[in-house]
Chains A and B, each alone.
Chain A
Amino acid sequence: MSIVVVENLVKVFEGFPALRGVSFAVEEGEVFGLIGPNGAGKTTTFRILATLLLPTSGRVEICGLDVVRRAAEVRRLVSYLPEEAGTYRNLTGYEYLKMMAEVYFGSGREAEEALELGLKLAGLGDRVYDKMKTYSRGMKRRIQVARALMVRPRVAVLDEPTTGLDVIHSNAIRRVIREYARKWGVTVLLSSHNMSEVEGVCDRIAVIHRGRILACGTPDELREEHGGVSLEEVLIKLVGEGA
C-alpha cells in the first residue's frame, strides 16, 4: 500500500514553474530517494509534502490524507528536515530535543522515550548539554536528524541530510538513517547530491529534473534500464537527455 502518493503535482512561483506534473508513490517502510541537479524541484516537492507550501495543482496524499485539506493531521504524521535547518543558539542540544519530545508527546513516558531515542540518535555524548552555538556543522546536523527521527513519524522527509558534511559525519548520519528505518519501519524520503549515499541507503530512487520525474525504480533497475555503470552515469545521461 502506498503511504505517499504524489499525482501530477504542479507548483508555480510568480510565473516560474518549479514543478511541472510530478508523480510518484512511496510504499510503507520504504527508503525513497529523490535525486536531481540543483533547482530540479526536490526541495519544493518536499516542502509541499511537509505542508509548508501549497501546490498550484495536483494531488498529494500521506496515509490517505490530503496535505492541503488536512494539513494539521498530516503534520502529526510527517517529520521534516529542511536542507538548511538551523539551531537555536542559546539552547543546549538536550533542551532542544526535550522541547521537541514535549511538542509531540506532552510530558509523559512517551516523551521521555522519544528524548532517550533522540539522545541516542544524536550521539553527542556530554556535548549535548552544551549550547548549540558551540556545535560544529556536523553536530548541528546530527541534532537535526535526531530531532526529525526521534518522534518516530510515519513518514520522515529528509532534504539533503548530509549536505556540507565531511565523510565521517556523512557516514554516521547515513548509518543512523539506515538502521533507524530498518528498526522502526519508518518510511523515509530523502534527497541528495551524493549518488553513493543514495545507492547505499535507498530502496527506490526517482530522478527529477526541471520539475519533472525522468525515471523511477530501484538502483539496479535504473542502471539496467538506462545503461549506466553507476547511478551517477544514469543521472548524467538522464539529465543530459532531459535538458
Chain B
Amino acid sequence: MRRFSSSWWARGLKPLLLKEIRELVRDPRIWIPFVISALILPVLGLVIGASMGEAIRGAQVPVKAGLVIADSSPLAREVVARLLEVGPARGVDLVVLNVSGVEEALHRALELGLECVAVLPPGFGESLEERRRPNVTVLYVVRTLSLFAPSRGARLVSLLGDVVAERLISGTGVSLDLVKKPLREVAATYIASKGVLVSGDAGRAVTSLALPAMLVPVVVMIVAVGVVQMAATATAVENEERTLEVLLTLPVDRFTILLSKLLGSFAVALIGSLLSILGFIAYFYVLPSAALSLGEPVLASLHILVGAESLAWILASLLVALFFAASLGIVVGALSSDVRIAGALSGPLVMLIFIPGYYIALADTLSLGQPLRALLYTLPITQPVILSKEAIAARLPPETPLYIAGSLLVSLLTVMLASRVFTLETLERIQRAIARLWRRRGAPR
C-alpha cells in the first residue's frame, strides 16, 4: 500500500483480466449457448437431411393416378393405350375409372387412394385430329403437407403432355426430345460487379452468390448475439454476487475495470464464436442434400470469389464487431441488478442488431444512397454484415480500412462513455429505475 508499481498493465489490467478469463472459462453457464449452437446445428442438419431424404424417397414411389375417359374417339383411345403402356416406366400407375362426373371421380379417387385424376373430355380426340391443343381436366388429391407432394401429381400431366405431343408430331420426323429441348446451350455469365466470368447461366451464378451473401450475415449476427448475452451475463453477475462494490473501491480507474471485463469477454467470446462457426460448417457437411445443392456453391463461391485481402478485412471487421458486441453486453450487464434482468434487456438489444442485419442481407446495398452506406459501413454491428455481403456479391470499397478504423473508434467511445457512468451511485440509480419498470411490467393486473 505504501508504494505502487508504475505499470498500469501489471497492477491493473493484467490481474483483473486474468480474473475475468478464469471466471468466464470456468462458468458452465457461459459455454452453454456456444456449445448448444455448435452441437445443435449438425443435429439440425441431420434432421433436415433425413426428412428431405425421406421426402425424396417418397417422391420416387410410383404415383397412383386415375383416368376418366369421356371421349370414345379412336384418337382418345390411342392416347389412353399409350398412357397405359408407358405409364409404369415413367412412375405412373394408371387406373381407368368408369365414372360420370368430376364429383364421382373424386369419390373414387379417395376410395382407391389416388393422388390425381385426369379427365379426357368429349372432343379430346377431335382437337388432336385437328392439331389443336386438347382440353383436359386434372384433379389433384393432397393428403399430407410435404415438400414434394405437388410434383408427384404433376407427373401424370407431364406424361399426358408428352404422349399428346408425340401424337401431334408423329409423321414429321422430328423427335419429341428435339421439340422439348431445341437448343444445345453452352452458357457463361459475366458478373460485372466482380469482373469475373463463370460457367453456367445467370440464374445459377446469382444463386451461388446470393446464398453465401445472405448466409454469412446471418452467421455474423448469431455470433454477435451470443457475445452480447455472454458479456451481459458476466457483468450482471458482479452485481448479483455483490462483487462490484469491492471492485469499484480498488485503486484502478473505471476504464481499466471495464476494459478488463471487455477484453475478458472478448477473448472467451472468440473461442465460443469459433465453436458456433464450426457448428455452421458441420451443418453444411452433415446435411446430405445440401452438400450438393447448397453447400458446394456456398463453399466454392466463398473460396473463389472472395480474395485473401477481402477476407482479411472481413475478419478484422468481425473482430471489431465482436469487441463492440462485448462492450454493449457489458453496458447492459452493468445496468442490470441481476442476470435475469440482463437477459431481459439483451432481448430487445438483440433485435436492434438483427433488424439492420436482415435489411442488409436482403436489400440491394449497392443501390443505397452514399450517406446510408457510409453509416452501415461504419457501425460496428452492421459493418461485417455489409462487408461480407459486398465482398461476395461485388467488391469492397477502397475506403474499407477507414471504415474499420471508424468502427473501432465507435467501440472504444462506447467503452469510454460507459466508464463515465460506471459509478456505484449512477448504476444503483439506473438499476433501481429498471427494477421498478421490471416490477411494474411483471405485476399482476
Q: Identify which of residues 75-98 in chain A touch chain B, using a CB-to-CB cut-off of 8 Å.
A: 75-82, 84-91, 95-96, 98
CB of B138 to closest CB in A, whole Å: 67
Which residues in B have some Cβ–Cβ distance to A below 8 Å? 1-5, 7, 10-12, 14-16, 18-19, 22-23, 26-27, 241-243, 245-246, 248-253, 423-425, 429
Q: Hey, which chain B residues are within 8 Å of A129, CB to CB?
A: none
Residue from B11, B14, B246 in contact with A85 in the complex, judged by beta carbons closer than 8 Å: B246
A206 to B245, CA, bound (A): 25
Of the candidate stretches A105-113, A118-126, A221-229, the one touching chain B is A105-113
Which residues of chain B come closer than 8 Å to A91, judged between CB atoms?
19, 22-23
CB-contact partner of B27 in A79, A80, A90, under 8 A: A90
Residue of A nearest to B432 (CB): A14
For residue A102, CB closer than 8 A to chain B, the reply is: yes
> Which A residues are in CB contact (< 8 Å) with B22?
90-91, 95
Q: Is the CB of A52 within 8 A of B251?
A: no
In the complex, chain B residues whose CB is within 8 Å of the CB of A88: 19, 23, 241, 243
Given A53-B425, A104-B250, A105-B5, 8 more pairs with CB closer than 8 A? A47-B424, A76-B1, A76-B251, A88-B241, A88-B243, A89-B241, A106-B7, A144-B246
- Cross-chain contact A106 with B10 (CB below 8 angstroms): yes
Residues of B within 8 A of A106 (CB): 4-5, 7, 10-11
| Contacts known (A72-B251, A103-B12, A103-B250); A85 close to B245, Cβ less than 8 A | yes
A contact residues, total (Cβ < 8 Å): 44
Contact code string A134-160 (vs B, CB < 8 Å = 1, else 0): 000000000010010001111000000
Asked if residues A102 and B11 are in contact (CB atoms below 8 Å), the reply is yes
- Chain B contact residues: helix, strand, loop or mixed: loop
Instruction: Please give, as numbers and ranges, the residues of chain A lying within 8 Å of B425 by CB-CB distance.
Output: 52-54
Question: Which residues of the other chain, A, contact B252 by a CB distance below 8 angstroms?
Answer: 103
By a CB distance below 8 angstroms, the chain B residues around A82 are 242, 245-246
Question: How far, in angstroms, from A136 to B19 measured CA to CA in the complex?
Answer: 21
Q: 24 pairs across A/B with beta carbons < 8 Å?
A: A50-B249, A54-B425, A75-B250, A76-B4, A80-B249, A81-B246, A84-B242, A85-B242, A85-B245, A86-B241, A88-B19, A90-B26, A99-B18, A103-B251, A104-B11, A104-B250, A105-B5, A106-B4, A110-B3, A131-B26, A144-B246, A152-B2, A153-B1, A154-B1
Q: Which residue of chain A lies nearest to B243 when distances are taken between CB atoms in the complex?
A: A86
Nearest Cβ on chain A to B330's Cβ, whole angstroms: 17
Asked if residues B424 and A52 are in contact (CB atoms below 8 Å), the reply is yes
Contact B241 A53 (CB under 8 A): no
Q: Is the CB of A85 within 8 A of B4?
A: no
Q: Does A51 contact B (CB under 8 A)?
A: yes
Q: Which residue of B lies closest to A107 (CB)?
A: B10
Shortest Cβ distance from residue B25 to the other chain A in the assembled complex, whole angstroms = 8
- With CB as the reference atom, state the residue of chain B lying closest to A157: B249
Q: Known contacts A75-B250, A103-B250; is A89 also within 8 Å of B242 by CB?
A: no
Which of chain B's residues have a CB closer than 8 A to the CB of A151?
1
CB neighbours of A14 from chain B (8 A): 429
Separation of A170 and B259 alpha carbons in the complex (Å): 37
